[in-house]
Amino acid sequence: MSKTKAIITTGLATFFFGFGVAAILNIYLISVNSPLVTKLRSSLSFKSSIYGDGILLPIVNMVMVAFLYKKKEFVNKKTLRLAFVGGLLITAYFHISQAIQGLVNWSMPTPWHWNFLGLWHALYMFFVTSLIILFYTVALLSFRNQRKIDWQVYFVTLGIGFFLLLLKFDYINVNISDLIPHL
């Protein structure tokens, strides 16, 4: 796959898997008056879903993939393994924290009980967080090599920060710092 095609595919896949499928399902469930959307918060009620998964993350992920192509000498089995483990740990941490906090929604209607949507979201989140871990790992290796921070690092960091801010607005009654492990 060419670099350009991979970058565009990343953006489209992020939009489709992170927002598109959930939005279509959300509209369908509204049309059939499902309790998943009448009694619980669903995809189209989250700012982080609409603006984050629908707009921001596709762009941020495209920038990350372009950067990884540019720095492909740092992408190897070791960095990919680290990204896989990091993505798995982050995904598990946030889903476990969601359950402990009792943050129910249409993908986890009761604490500790995820439905197909919850599994879909976990898989999507795993891929996105793995990409983020790979990006920052490669950025760190690149910095060690060239002693310069690439503009993509600033862009991605601001994008992720904005996404987390959107998430905070979605759960305004929840203190996000409670979700961060204290050492």
CB-based contact 120:69 (threshold 8 Å): no
Specify the range with the lowest mean pLDDT, choosing from 22-31, 124-133, 163-172. Answer: 163-172
Q: Which of 61, 58, 51 is nearest to 23 (CA)?
A: 51
CB-based contacts of 54, cutoff 8 Å, min separation 6: 15, 18, 19, 20, 23
Angle at 87 between CA 86 and CA 92, to 5 degrees: 100
User: Token pair 């604490």 is at which residue?
Assistant: 111
**Domain total in the chain:** 1
Side chain identity, residue 6: A
Higher pLDDT, 172 or 95: 95
Q: Which of 21, 82, 64 is nearest to 163 (CA)?
A: 64
- Name the residue range of residue 91's domain: 3-179
Structure confidence at residue 182 (pLDDT):
62
What distance in Å separates the CA atoms of residue 114 and residue 110, rounded to the nearest whole number? 8
Torsion of CA 93, 170, 53, 152, to 10 degrees: -80
Is residue 183 pLDDT above 60, yes or no?
no
Please, which pLDDT band fits residue 173 given cuts at 50, 70 and 90? low
Please, which pLDDT band fits residue 180 given cuts at 50, 70 and 90? low
Count of C-beta atoms within a 10 Å radius of residue 26: 21
Higher pLDDT, 173 or 59: 59
63 CA to centre of own chain: 14
Structure confidence at residue 171 (pLDDT):
79
Is residue 174 pLDDT above 80, yes or no?
no
What distance in Å separates the CA atoms of residue 113 and residue 99, rounded to the nearest whole number? 8
pTM of the full structure: 0.88
Is residue 175 pLDDT above 60, yes or no?
no
Percent above pLDDT 70 for the chain = 94
